[in-house]
């Protein structure tokens, strides 16, 4: 199962090099940007950095906290946490190319000392028990069929009392999801759970759910504005088309319809180990 998921995100060639080339082709240098400038490509989850900050403020972190980012992708969530709170974040992601790009971007924005990234499986992570003071996972579980293993691993590596913030895409009541999407070109690597199933998995892993929220409407309006706004106000000259190619527009259209018809939902859970 892991290889098809990794292949979906991997693309061809070095992603870090492609980002750097795109920036330099615009007459700029990668190290001329702030961490937040990379949001269009490294926090391309619904509602972007805004959603990250909403999750972050509920995790009770401080500068001494060691935080885990499960499914860290290009490292945007990790860098936001490191920049906003001063924590050290360890990101783990299935796709090596994402880890390499995350390391490069962190170096460009001078956050390499507060973030580290390694390739790994969310259901079998290479960390000791009771190791982290907090954890997040953002738009990850939809690619993981064994959610029980994922959340059990998260509980294992978290200290007792640590908070775990989950922000994910879930199966809605409005029908089947339309493909392609950013996380799956077809249903073979898409494993959406309903809100009830997610809650059950989380609690069975030993977490207490402190709060949960449905942000589907907000995600729909955010995506609608993002896809109709022109030209982009971002200073970064590369977009998610670098990741998803010619399918990017169709993915956005499918997601808009899916959110509007509640075929897919965006949900957050704040949990305590």
Q: Under DSSP, is residue 115 helix (H, G, I), strand (E, B) or coil?
A: strand
Question: Measuring CA to CA, which residue among 76, 12, 21 is closest to residue 44?
Answer: 76
For the chain, give the number of residues: 273
Q: Where are the beta strands (DSSP E) in 3-139?
A: 66-70, 88-93, 115-119, 132-138
Q: Which residue has the tokens 């504005």?
A: 225
Task: Quickly count: other Cβ atoms within 10 Å of residue 152's Cβ.
Answer: 16
pTM: 0.93
> Tens digits of per-residue pLDDT, 90-100?
999 999 999 99
Sheet holding 88-93, edge to edge: 115-119, 88-93, 66-70, 132-138, 158-171, 264-272, 208-214
Question: Measuring CA to CA, which residue among 272, 257, 165 is closest to residue 216?
Answer: 257
The pLDDT of residue 172 is 98
Domain that holds residue 156: 2-272
The pLDDT of residue 226 is 85
Whole-angstrom Cα distance, residue 37 to residue 111?
14
Please, are residues 76 and 33 in contact by the beta-carbon 8 Å criterion? no
Question: Measuring CA to CA, which residue among 217, 209, 216 is closest to residue 266?
Answer: 216
Give counts: helices (H), strands (E), the chain.
11, 7
The pLDDT of residue 228 is 82
The pLDDT of residue 5 is 56
Whole-angstrom Cα distance, residue 105 to residue 126?
23
Count Cα atoms within 13 angstroms, Cβ side, for 216: 19
Count Cα atoms within 13 angstroms, Cβ side, for 190: 18
Residue 264 carries which DSSP code? E
Task: Quickly count: other Cβ atoms within 10 Å of residue 253's Cβ.
Answer: 13
* Angle value at C-alpha 62, between 271 and 202, nearest 5 degrees: 10
Q: Please, what sign has the CA dihedral across residues 39, 42, 46, 50?
A: negative
The pLDDT of residue 124 is 97
Question: Measuring CA to CA, which residue among 105, 135, 94, 113 is closest to residue 40?
Answer: 105
Question: Measuring CA to CA, which residue among 91, 75, 62, 57 is closest to residue 19?
Answer: 75
Q: Which residues of the chain have pLDDT under 70?
A: 1-13, 230-233
- Bridge partners (DSSP) of residue 166 are 137, 269
The pLDDT of residue 237 is 82
**For position 251, which CATH number holds?**
3.40.50.150
State how beta strands 66-70 and 115-119 pair: unpaired
Domain count, the chain: 1
């Amino acid at each position: 199962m892991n290889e098809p998921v990794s292949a979906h995100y991997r693309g061809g060639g070095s992603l870090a090099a492609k980002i750097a080339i795109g920036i330099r082709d615009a007459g700029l240098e990668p190290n001329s940007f702030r961490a937040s400038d990379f949001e269009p490509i490294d926090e391309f989850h619904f509602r972007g950095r805004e959603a990250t900050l909403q999750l972050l403020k509920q995790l009770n972190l401080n500068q001494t906290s060691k935080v885990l980012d499960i499914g860290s992708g290009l490292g945007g969530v990790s860098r936001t946490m490191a920049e906003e709170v001063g924590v050290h974040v360890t990101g783990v992601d299935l796709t090596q190319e994402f880890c390499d790009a995350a390391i490069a971007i962190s170096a460009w924005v001078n956050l390499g000392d507060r973030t580290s990234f390694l390739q790994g499986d969310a259901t079998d992570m290479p960390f000791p028990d009771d190791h982290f003071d907090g954890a997040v996972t953002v738009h990850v579980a939809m690619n993981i069929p064994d959610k029980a293993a994922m959340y059990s691993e998260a509980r294992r590596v978290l200290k007792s009392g640590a908070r775990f913030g989950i922000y994910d895409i879930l199966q809605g009541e409005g029908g089947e999801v339309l493909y392609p999407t950013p996380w799956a070109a077809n249903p073979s690597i898409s494993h959406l759970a309903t809100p009830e199933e997610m809650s059950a998995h989380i609690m069975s892993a030993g977490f207490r759910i402190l709060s949960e929220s449905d942000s589907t409407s907000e995600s729909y309006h955010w995506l609608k504005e993002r896809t109709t706004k022109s030209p982009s106000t971002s200073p970064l000259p590369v977009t998610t088309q670098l990741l998803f190619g010619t399918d990017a527009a169709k993915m956005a259209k499918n997601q808009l319809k899916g959110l509007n018809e509640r075929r897919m939902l965006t949900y957050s859970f704040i949990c305590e180990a």
